[in-house]
Chain A
């Protein structure tokens, strides 16, 4: 549908720029386009709220809060992810 109105941001594009939006580094033009999108897209509003909640919760975690077995599991997962699919 947005091919007819190419200046409008899509959900996919919003996901791509959401980090810049939260960090305040997004361009003014893209911020305006993103906010136009949020006015009508309930899904993206929910997505942003989930991101905000995740940032709030994970922002409170300190290194010593992570149990060693969880740390090991996470490091293994990151190494596997970096290596890519077998």
Chain B
């Protein structure tokens, strides 16, 4: 089975700290569910982002779980070059503006069209941060929704952490829907974004 795997810079497993080499089969660390070689389906991509994205071959029976799949052994086939620092930065920005759009929509519904309109004017990250910082947060749920746009812009400006921006957008979606399942809904949108931008057939 062909799947996908994110690795840290230098082809290092982000949790196992294992050094991967293209073409070399890697066996499960130990028997039992959870100790195998982990990989992603296209719909899992946003849960595991890291510096490098590889196509992997999994061998034998493949166990499927909510956000990953697992096999007894696997090997790296080839690196997906379209997932690079620029793509990761673009993904992070998309998540920041997704959080902004959710804030704008909620603020309009909640009767804060002025604040919503100001946030909606921003077309760049510095603009969004400047506008968000210049506005007085409303109280209650409107304030919470305003906060997601503000926090996403502030956090991404400070740390450029695309995964953090993706998390904030996912929480903002759960808040906007009033249902924790909104979190997974946003993760699926983000996974589609990644798949489309790196040439993986989205599911």
Task: Decide if A81 is an interface residue (CB 8 Å cutoff).
Answer: no
- 1/0 per residue A56-67: CB within 8 Å of B? 000000000000
A4 touches B180 (CB 8 A): yes
B159 touches A4 (CB 8 A): no
A8 touches B183 (CB 8 A): yes
B34 touches A39 (CB 8 A): no
When chains A and B are docked, how far (Å) is the Cα of A42 from the Cα of B163? 10
Task: Decide if B98 is an interface residue (CB 8 Å cutoff).
Answer: no
Contacts known (A4-B171, A4-B180, A8-B183); A39 close to B49, Cβ less than 8 A: yes
Q: What total of chain A residues lie within 8 Å of the partner, measured CB to CB? A: 17
When distances are taken between beta carbons in the complex, the residues of chain B under 8 Å from A1 are 151, 168, 171
B161 touches A7 (CB 8 A): no
When chains A and B are docked, how far (Å) is the Cα of A11 from the Cα of B10? 27
B171 touches A41 (CB 8 A): no
Contacts known (A1-B171, A4-B171, A4-B174); A35 close to B180, Cβ less than 8 A: no
Contacts known (A2-B171, A7-B183, A39-B50); A28 close to B67, Cβ less than 8 A: no
When distances are taken between beta carbons in the complex, the residues of chain B under 8 Å from A2 are 171
A28 touches B163 (CB 8 A): no
A42 touches B183 (CB 8 A): no
| Chain B, range 141-156, C-beta contacts under 8 Å to A | 151
- Residues of B in contact with A, size category: 20 to 34
| Chain A, range 1-21, C-beta contacts under 8 Å to B | 1-2, 4-8
A38 touches B67 (CB 8 A): no
B49 touches A6 (CB 8 A): no
B174 touches A40 (CB 8 A): no
From residue B188, how far is it (CB to closest CB) to chain A in Å?
14
When chains A and B are docked, how far (Å) is the Cα of A28 from the Cα of B33? 8
When chains A and B are docked, how far (Å) is the Cα of A75 from the Cα of B168? 46
When distances are taken between beta carbons in the complex, the residues of chain A under 8 Å from B151 are 1
Contacts known (A5-B174, A32-B67); A39 close to B48, Cβ less than 8 A: yes
Task: Decide if B43 is an interface residue (CB 8 Å cutoff).
Answer: no
- Which of A6, A31, A41 has a CB less than 8 Å from the CB of B164? A41
Contacts known (A36-B47, A39-B48, A40-B161); A5 close to B67, Cβ less than 8 A: no
Task: Decide if B167 is an interface residue (CB 8 Å cutoff).
Answer: yes
When distances are taken between beta carbons in the complex, the residues of chain B under 8 Å from A31 are 34
| Chain A, range 21-37, C-beta contacts under 8 Å to B | 28, 31-32, 35-36
From residue A27, how far is it (CB to closest CB) to chain B in Å?
9
Binding site for A on B (CB under 8 A): 14-15, 33-34, 47-50, 65, 67-68, 151, 159, 161, 163-164, 166-168, 170-171, 174-175, 180, 182-183
List of 8 A-B pairs having minimum Cβ-Cβ separation, nearest first: A40-B163, A28-B34, A5-B183, A4-B174, A40-B167, A40-B164, A4-B175, A39-B163
